[in-house]
Structure 1
Amino acid sequence: MAALAGRRCLPWVWLRRRPGQGHGRHYRAALCTELKRPLAIEEVAPRPVQPHEVRVDVHFCGVNFADILACRGQYQEMAHLPFTPGMEFSGTVLETGTDVSTVKEGDRVIGVTGLNAMAEECITDQKSLWQVPEKVSLQEAAVLPVSYGTAILALDHRACTQPGETVLVTAAAGATGLAVIDVATNVLQAKVIAAAGSDEKCKLAMKRGAQYSVNYSQGSLKDAVKNLVGSGGVNVAIDMVGGDAFLEALRSLAWEGRIVVLGFAGGNIASIPSNLLLLKNICAMGLYWGRYKQQNFTVFSKSLSSALQYCQQGRIKPHVGATFKLEEVNDAFLHVIQRKSTGKVLLSLK
């Protein structure tokens, strides 16, 4: 999950659609033509695929807060205008380059791109695609890359979560929060305390497998966790909120506990009181999942392969909170900005 910064909303005007030029195989795409302005839906002319590339007919595309940050110019990787946002998708292969050997026309796939997935077609390198097993729907598959890829690496690769350990997760009703609950409970056999900002979100987290829930809008997260597990604390904390929520999660850790930072949805980045790390021998670490694609592709790829395998086996159950059409992309962004979303928000291209 990308690091989040700031909470200014995009100005709101009606979505506009510009007529495309020419005919043939033009396809629709959401375009950011100006930062901090609504996206436009335009007809785009396709380009040829390179030898190592694959053209995919996109069925579903995930909507992530990182997409919104990119359209504000606040994401850590700046894009050149105009650009199409969207970093994860599912669909079927339309065309392959001459050097492609991993997939073929008609294969069902999920893909991870830096940008360009919020469109009816997407071209990406063959290394950025994973085949979807037969028992997994394309809608389910579209939930997996960012949310479950992040959850698996945070819990398993970074925190080394063990069976029977207790995991505290903030922003628990969001897409990644629910994925953390799902993986921790159903794959790693850990116990989960879900922390969220409303009773409704806490109920959803409990329904999705958390053993306990805490509404941190009603008081101290640290005190609530202590009431649930005692002074011993939790073994692992996964934080996506930052600020005070991060500090309270840090203070809730047990001896040799581990906290993994996934983002700053609250808008504030806390300073770590390093004496706490020393006194309880605890560890604070970060996870920028997308960076693994460049730095350690084996680990990155394994997180997606594992997510697909767990879904095929029925061990995890991806949760779709809301689905919007491509022409409703600005409504989808607003849904996320206003914190109305629970679970994954998807664009449906079909």
Structure 2
Amino acid sequence: MKAVVCENWGTPDMLKLQDLPDPQPGPGQVVIDVQAAAVNFPDVLIVQGKYQFKPDLPFVPGNEVAGVVRSVADDVTTCRPGDKVIAFTATGGFGQQLLAPAQSLIPIPPGMEFDIAAAITLTYGTSYHAIVDRAALKTGETMLILGAAGGVGLAAIEIGKALGARIIAAASSDDKLEVCRRHGADVLINYSEEDLRTAIKAATGGRGPDVIYDPVGGAYTEAAFRSISWGGRHLVVGFANGEIPKLPLNLTLLKGASLVGVFWGEFTKRYPKANMSNMKQLLQWLQEGKIRPLVSHRYRLEETAQALNDMAARKVTGKIVILPQ
């Protein structure tokens, strides 16, 4: 099989397309013919050696795939060759075949396309865990989403609307904000042209948002947190800006507010049953039309470095996927 291999830490341009032996399933494992592999911002960090999780070199990056079961170990009874499945693994996604634990697979609902199926696990799983499990967003509350046109941002918009919240979407261009509007955002803020605090104050009548969904970091974090409502919850999802902000902790006291960390990957390891329950809810909402992943671009396997570079340069709206076959 062909796969994209990371032999040394560095930029995506250092990745190599190689021929590797076809994987064989061991106990409890299956082999999947990967039809679509989603690209996420952590993929950029992982190949640079800058992510919380650091795999041994060499490795095949990519962790969010959809495909068809090719073969199963003798002890696997939960799926069989020919089944269409979603898989989320530590590594291995950017290749034509993937070795995965059978217990981690999620059946693809009838009629769902592979690229859409590959686009739901990490971004929607992260956003659902953040908004429901960590922030406990309630109907009628207001949520501000920074970097709202990205994969997790659009997922957060749709999940927030499904829960009956009012959504303020903040992004860096009018084109991105138009995508946010189409996905359900109620109020739009272009923080490259507007003062973020002033715009938040106007959008909330001076009260501030109940929940802030922050996958961006940098200077926007403090500006947003200074605007939060009394008792608000600020979700620390990631640092796509590249800068990990430092907040004056007296703000949490003055606002009676909470900084809430969101580490979905660790949550899935510690609470796999709870995560599977979350995914079932998301797939139900998908079938009901309450959420609809946006796949904005598709790349060939040999274009994986370009896909990661586009992600790093924040040129991506919604989700992008690689089609290995």
| TM-score grouping bracket, smaller chain normalisation | over 0.9
Which of 122, 141, 147 is residue 98 of structure 2 equivalent to?
122
- Larger deviation, residues 94-103 vs 231-240: 94-103
Residue 140 of structure 1 and its aligned partner are, at CA, apart by: 1.0
Read off the aligned partner of 2:86 and give its amino acid letter: I
Matches within 5 A, 1:265-276: 265-276=240-251
Aligned to 1:8: none
Is this contact kept in 1: 2:149–2:318, CA < 8 A?
yes
Aligned to 1:83: 59
Aligned to 1:242: 217
Residue 105 of structure 1 and its aligned partner are, at CA, apart by: 1.4
Matches within 5 A, 1:75-154: 75-154=51-130
Deviations 1:255-296 (A, max 9, x none): 211110100111221223222222222111110100012222
Which of 311, 320, 323 is residue 345 of structure 1 equivalent to?
320
SS in 1 for 2:169: strand
Read off the aligned partner of 2:9 and give its amino acid letter: L
Q: Distance in 1 between matches of 2:125 and 2:256?
A: 28
Matches within 5 A, 1:1-350: 27-37=1-11, 38-185=14-161, 187-350=162-325
Read off the aligned partner of 1:40 and give its amino acid letter: K
Is this contact kept in 1: 2:216–2:239, CA < 8 A?
yes
Residue 36 of structure 1 and its aligned partner are, at CA, apart by: 1.1
Q: Distance in 1 between matches of 2:231 and 2:79?
A: 44
Residue 223 of structure 1 and its aligned partner are, at CA, apart by: 1.0
Is this contact kept in 2: 1:136–1:311, CA < 8 A?
no
Is this contact kept in 2: 1:141–1:308, CA < 8 A?
no
Deviations 1:50-86 (A, max 9, x none): 1200111100001112111111111111122111000
Q: Distance in 1 between matches of 2:111 and 2:257?
A: 41
Q: Distance in 1 between matches of 2:88 and 2:22?
A: 19
Aligned to 1:11: none
TM-score (norm 1): 0.90
Deviations 1:218-262 (A, max 9, x none): 232111010111111111110011122111121221121111010
Q: Distance in 2 between matches of 1:190 and 1:135?
A: 29
Read off the aligned partner of 1:67 and give its amino acid letter: D
Deviations 1:13-42 (A, max 9, x none): xxxxxxxxxxxxxx1101112221521111
Task: Give identity over the alignment, percent.
Answer: 35
Residue 162 of structure 1 and its aligned partner are, at CA, apart by: 0.8
Read off the aligned partner of 2:182 and give its amino acid letter: K
Residue correspondences, number: 323
Deviations 1:134-165 (A, max 9, x none): 13222211110000001111111110011111
- Larger deviation, residues 115-124 vs 307-316: 307-316
TM-score (norm 2): 0.96
SS in 2 for 1:253: coil
Aligned to 1:21: none
Q: Distance in 1 between matches of 2:208 and 2:41?
A: 30
Q: How large is the RMSD of aligned CA atoms in angstroms? A: 1.2
Read off the aligned partner of 1:290 and give its amino acid letter: G
Is this contact kept in 1: 2:23–2:97, CA < 8 A?
no
SS in 2 for 1:49: coil
Moved over 3 A (4+): none
Is this contact kept in 2: 1:110–1:142, CA < 8 A?
yes
SS in 2 for 1:203: helix
Q: Distance in 2 between matches of 1:165 and 1:87?
A: 33
Read off the aligned partner of 2:18 and give its amino acid letter: E
**Unpaired segments of 5 or more residues in structure 2?**
none
Is this contact kept in 1: 2:3–2:94, CA < 8 A?
yes
**Unpaired segments of 5 or more residues in structure 1?**
1-26
Read off the aligned partner of 1:335 and give its amino acid letter: D
